[in-house]
A and B are shown apart, each in its own frame.
Chain A
Amino acid sequence: MVSFFHTADLHLGMRVTRFNPETCNRIREARFIALDNLLKKAAELRTDFLIIAGDLFDDLEVDHLTARRAYEMLESVPIPVYILPGNHDPLMPGGVWDRPPWSNLTDKGLYLFRERKPFEVAPGLLLLPCPVFRRTSLNDPTAWMTECSASDSDIRIGIAHGSLKVRDDLPADDHLIARYAVDDYHLDYLALGHWHSRRSYPDQEGVERIVYPGVHESMRFPGSLDSRSGWVPYGGAGRQEFVDSGKGEVAHVRIRIKGSTPEVQPLETNHLIWEQEEKWELSSEEDLARLIQQVATRPDFDRRLLRLQLTGTLNATAMLRLDALRQILTDRYFFGELEETNLHVQPTDEEVREVAAQGVLARVLEVLEQEVNDQDPDVRQIAERAILVLYQIAKETK
């Protein structure tokens, strides 16, 4: 029996841009931590080897430190690691694979597939790698396997990076792989990479031998198609295939004998917790207090990324308390963000009496409250903020 880890799309050195630079760095760092989790699990489970089915790096121009760190981590594990260049890090002259340390591999447990030819891991176990040489290609990367005759005894594991042609509307240049390549080339398992959520597909006999393992560390807020992290796949932005499940996983695969059904078990490896975007309807100070309480008591907030979308209307005092919520998100959470475009301020009569019962301020407040209902969103936004400032200063100077 052969037991191995199948992962892909690690995207080390990922290009995240929609956060502040420090957070961006920490998100990139998290992918190394998740890789470390993965390698530890592989060692714990004593798997035979690790397959990385493409996109180890986010780009073939990643920086030297990222390239070296990945090399050192993978080289240090006690099992062989088989790496396939993907469409983000294709095998091109001058790219990351053409630079030290990756240009000087010495076959000591770390293997980079530079050619499309069979590789015998052990007697009776054959790897059929399909390295990617271009970012885009109209050719099926597995096509070369027709030249590779099959034997009745060898376990044949194909490794490829591309889109399995499960439907017709996939981009033609996205390294399309024949839907039944696994049957065509007599493969026991086709280890794929490219798509970011875990998926598996059956062969013509209904046995699930084709697997995308998903990403080892989530890359975005779950369920959100918009690229909130700023990362863009080279295979085409906005495609469902590149939306991960919000979890980081690796596929633990076991194949007993040639032709047997592969056993595939997903194992969690992620470090950061990307929370589903939460929508909160607030209408009173109590609602806000509940929200603050709820947010303040969540576990693992130092690994948590949270986006809160607030709607509704609050009085001025409550609006000023939003700073407390913002403070919690900023100070405690790995990353926290408040979307409050649709949260409006409406001072109560009591508040009005308290700070602006008469005099000029009363009139100012009256005008601002009219502007809050203006057609122009800019006017509305400025007016709402001005009301809060008015309320805040009036309270301070009272």
Chain B
Amino acid sequence: MIIRALHVEHWSCIRQLDLEDLRTGIVVLRGPNKTGKSSLVRAIRCCLFDLDHDSTGSKLKKNIPWSGQGPPKVAVEFQAGRAEYRITKVFSKRSDGLALLEKKVGSQWQVEENSPKEASRKTRELLEADKSTEGLNQLLWLDQGEIGLPKSELLDASLERALVSVLGVLVTGGDLAFKEELDKRCARWFREGGKDRPNSPVTLLERQKQEFSRTRDQERQKWTELEKTFETMELCLDELPPLRRLVQEAQEEAQRLEDEQKRSLKRRTRYADAEKALQRARQDLDQAEQALKKFREAEERARQSPEEVERLRNLAEAVRITTDELARQHTSKQQALARARNEEDAHHELGADIEDRRTLVAASQKLLQLQESLTAIKTLEQKIHELEDTIKSTPAPNETGLEELRENRRKAQQLRANLTAEALTMHISIEKPTRMFLSLDNKDKELVELSAAEKKSWSVNQRAKIEICDWGKIELGRSHDRLDLERSARQLANLARDFNDAIHTYEEDALDESCLDRLSERKIRRDSWGKELSQLGIELATKAPKGRGILESECARFETLLEAIVQRRPELSQWSPNESEVEVLRVAHTRQTKAFREARLQVEKDEKQAQRNLEEAQSNLQAHEKTLIAARATAHANHGELLRLGDEASLLIAVESAKTAKTEAEKNLADSLLTDEEKTVDQRCDVARAALQQRQDRLRQMEQQLMDLSIILKGNESLHANLANAEAAVQQAESALDREKLEAQAHRRLSDLFESCRESRVQRVIGPVEGRVLEWAKSIGLNEYHEVRFGDKFLPDGIVRQSSSLGPAIAIEDEGYGTSEQLSLLVRLALGGILAKTEPAVAILDDPLAHTDPAKHRKILNIFRIATEGNKAWNPPAGPLQIIILTCHPDRFDYLAGARHYDLAQLICR
């Protein structure tokens, strides 16, 4: 459709408007706010789609003429197909209301439909939409402030159909419902994003299968072990009969040998008895010979004992005599030692006396030295006190203070010079004596008396006031106060005050110009006294580093020491301490001390030697006495033993008798000798019994093993059923798992396939549109976008930036206000152009691009121009558009080549 003309009467604020000869391309309807632009858009919407001629309600009320004249009337001439039509609607429920559809034939309008309802319906049919917000209008007719694209779910069905008819099917409703249901089913196994759910039936079945398999494996393990048990048992059962036969054979052999043993028992007993008899005879002979030998030895010992006792007694007596002699010698040595020690002690007493004298001499000398030092210290302290008093009585500033005072004077001099230079000089000369009061620079007035012809001058900084008695006042001053002079005067006064205060501190007269020189002299003197004072201090510190008190206490201590010595040795009170005398005494005493000590050590040594000799002799005596006692006891014992052993003759007879018995026993043994079989029968019998025992043990072990194995078998009762049940459970779990896995895989495959097919279809269908939008976006300077991602409804889900080409799409409305509007408009024009392939379409943009900067605005106008021209060569081809722009900023659209501009302010009659 292309709108050719508009005729509006009594519509909202518009009393009359006639717009003729509107063409394809761009039409700019300009006018300031409140001109009626939006009312005009509403008029087009209502006339073509939204209102019947007899409509009531808010939509119409909104457009009731402000003038109150006539019913609203709107006529729109439009081109649809190859024909031109005109729909005229007079909105009134009365008889004057009408809706008339006319068709242009040649240059004449012919009524096409005069039934109002039918005329309205037919118009909508021609325009392929029921409402002004449906069909292509949803994309291309934008009210003021409409920025973004419609939501996908709100896309008009007729528009979608139209897009499908041109672009092809994208995603059907059936597809979406299918996917929704598929997703629900998939939720049984998968989470969003396709990952397996932790508790999906597949996982649970896998766990169950693992658990069952574990149980089955355990049962199988038991079964395998049982199989081994069977094998072992079969081996045992095979081995048992031969083993029993072997036991039987061993028993027979043992029995046979036992019989043989019994048969030879008598002969073997006789032989054993003969052997024992011979043994006994040999033992008896040994004993008899032994007794005889002992008797002879005892006899010899009894003979020797008395001689030995006598010898030992003599020896002990000699040792006792020696011991007594040594005891006497030891006593005399002890007495000599006591004497030597007494003499040494007496000599020590004399040493103490000499030591006291030495102390007395040293203490007297030290005390004298200390007293001299104390006298010198006191002299020094007195000098220091005098010097400190002198310094105190002569105050003077330090170097800094002195410098500050000099600086004060320099600054004061400088300020004074400045003030003098800047000051006015007031000269007064009077012809006759006059008294006057003079006040300079706001100071207190002072009385001035001038004699005749006397001339006097004053300096004036700011102003001067002169009161002449009985005459009047003269005031003079600068036209503008010199603030800098006032500031200088204040500074000068402050400096003078500070100076006076400082000088008075040092008891000098501030007015005296030489006061500073005197203060400098004072300072020099003070500095010299200070040096002298510190010198004296150093001297004092050298003489008494720890203070005078310490020296005084030292004196007292030595005095006390001297008194103590005199008190202990009163004979020294009259003695004049003499160091050389003491030294002579000390040398003599030392020599004598050494002699006494050596003598005493020698005596001590002799005494110890005597004691050792005595102890040795006593010990020797004891040993001899013990030996003597032992010899006497031995002699007694030997005598007793001899008596006990009897006499030699009887012992000789016993030996002869034993020899005879032995000969007899040897003869008997020779008579009862055994054969080899008789000798070894016991041994062979033992071997046979051991063999029997071993075989019986083996048999018992095997029987025990069989019993153990049978117990194992008994303990595994039900294993057969348990294994069967475990295997059946695994089988069942595997089947269930296979089924569930297949189901899950089929659903996943379906879901994946659906997504990939949808993606490829969307890409194929909408790809060219996306390409066109991207190209246009780049041409207006939106270079940062890599992809416009379309969804299931021909509208973008979002856009992807170059920087995140693999990342998620950003919603267009999340971009800036201006960018969002520009991109949305490009999408609208691209889709609109595609739908206008066979029939031009009209876009009505009420105040578009309000948020676009001038540079982009200029570029986007070029897109408008391209869109209005369309291009059959594009893929998909685009038809021409008529773009009607309503704006209150006409200058923004000046650069639209070929656009037709209408000034609504002039055309609309209000």
Show the binding face of A for B, using Cβ within 8 Å. 13-21, 24, 58-64, 66, 92-96, 98-99, 133-135, 230, 355-356, 358-361, 363-364, 367-368, 381-383, 385-386, 388-390, 393-394, 396-398
Contact = CB atoms under 8 A, between A and B. Distances in A.
Contacts of B169: 358-359
Interface string B702-721: 00001101111110111111
A60 B747 CA distance: 48
B161 to A, nearest CB: 13
Interface in B748-762: 749-750, 753-754, 757-758, 760-761
A339 B552 CA distance: 131
Given A15-B723, A21-B725, A230-B727, A63 B753 contact: no
Interface of B: 169-172, 174-175, 177-178, 180-182, 185, 226, 230, 233-234, 237, 706-707, 709-714, 716-725, 727-729, 731-732, 742-743, 745-747, 749-750, 753-754, 757-758, 760-761
B747 A389 contact: yes
Contacts of A356: 174
Given A17-B724, A93-B706, A99-B717, A367 B742 contact: no
B178 A393 contact: yes
A153 to B, nearest CB: 35
A37 B178 CA distance: 57
A370 to B, nearest CB: 11
Given A60-B713, A385-B743, A394-B178, A364 B753 contact: yes
A13 B723 CA distance: 11
With most chain B CB atoms within 10 A of its CB, the pick from A92, A96, A367 is A92
A99 B714 CA distance: 7
Contacts of B706: 93
Contacts of A135: 230
A21 B736 CA distance: 13
Given A94-B709, A367-B753, A61 B718 contact: yes
29 contacts: A15-B721, A15-B727, A18-B728, A61-B716, A62-B717, A63-B722, A92-B230, A93-B709, A98-B713, A135-B230, A230-B724, A356-B174, A359-B170, A359-B761, A360-B171, A360-B757, A361-B178, A363-B760, A363-B761, A364-B754, A367-B757, A368-B753, A386-B746, A389-B182, A389-B743, A389-B747, A394-B178, A397-B177, A397-B180
The 7 A-B residue pairs with the shortest CB-CB distance, nearest first, are A94-B713, A94-B710, A93-B710, A359-B172, A17-B727, A385-B746, A63-B718
Contact of B725 (A14, A24, A386): A24
With most chain B CB atoms within 10 A of its CB, the pick from A61, A230, A360, A398 is A360
Given A19-B731, A389-B746, A359 B171 contact: yes
Nearest to A21: B728
Given A94-B710, A382-B745, A393-B178, A21 B732 contact: yes
Contacts of B711: 94
Contacts of A19: 728, 731-732
A64 B237 CA distance: 25
Contacts of A363: 757, 760-761
A319 B717 CA distance: 47
A16 B746 contact: no
Contacts of B177: 397-398
Contacts of A60: 713
A393 B720 contact: no
Given A24-B724, A360-B758, A363-B761, A61 B713 contact: yes
A383 B709 CA distance: 56
Contacts of A398: 174, 177
Contacts of A389: 182, 185, 743, 746-747, 750
Contact of B757 (A58, A355, A364): A364
Nearest to B723: A15
Given A95-B713, A359-B169, A386-B749, A397 B757 contact: no
Contact of A15 (B724, B729, B757, B758): B724
B180 to A, nearest CB: 7
Given A93-B713, A385-B742, A18 B731 contact: yes
A63 B757 contact: no
Contact of A61 (B226, B233, B725, B754): B226
Contacts of B709: 93-94
Contacts of B170: 359
Contact of B714 (A94, A361, A385, A393): A94
A260 to B, nearest CB: 40
A364 B750 contact: yes
Contacts of B725: 21, 24
Contacts of A383: 749
Nearest to B754: A364
Given A59-B720, A94-B710, A364-B754, 5 more contacts: A21-B725, A93-B706, A360-B172, A360-B754, A360-B761
Contacts of A17: 724, 727-728, 731
Nearest to A381: B742
B174 A394 contact: yes
A96 B717 CA distance: 8
Contacts of B717: 61-64, 96, 99
Contacts of B226: 61
Contacts of A134: 234, 237
A367 B750 CA distance: 10
B750 A386 contact: yes
Nearest to B227: A135
Contacts of A95: 710, 713
Nearest to B719: A61
Given A360-B172, A361-B178, A385-B742, A64 B720 contact: no
A66 B233 CA distance: 24
B721 A66 contact: yes
A383 B745 CA distance: 9
With most chain B CB atoms within 10 A of its CB, the pick from A16, A359, A364 is A359
Contacts of A390: 178, 750
Contacts of B757: 360, 363-364, 367
A17 B725 CA distance: 7
A62 B185 contact: no
Nearest to A359: B172
With most chain B CB atoms within 10 A of its CB, the pick from A13, A24, A134 is A24
A93 B174 contact: no
A18 B730 CA distance: 9
B720 A382 contact: no
B575 to A, nearest CB: 129
A63 B721 contact: yes
Nearest to B712: A94
B743 to A, nearest CB: 7
Given A93-B713, A382-B745, A393-B181, A359 B175 contact: yes
A253 B470 CA distance: 185
A381 B738 CA distance: 12
Contacts of A18: 728, 731
A92 B714 CA distance: 11
B710 A98 contact: yes
B705 to A, nearest CB: 10
A20 B713 contact: no
A63 B175 contact: no
A63 B718 CA distance: 4
Nearest to A395: B178
A83 to B, nearest CB: 18
A382 B742 contact: yes
A230 B171 CA distance: 51
A135 to B, nearest CB: 7
Nearest to A18: B731
A19 B729 CA distance: 8
Contact of B185 (A13, A361, A393, A394): A393
A103 B753 CA distance: 68
A56 to B, nearest CB: 13
A230 B758 contact: no
A17 B175 CA distance: 45
B810 to A, nearest CB: 25
Nearest to A60: B713
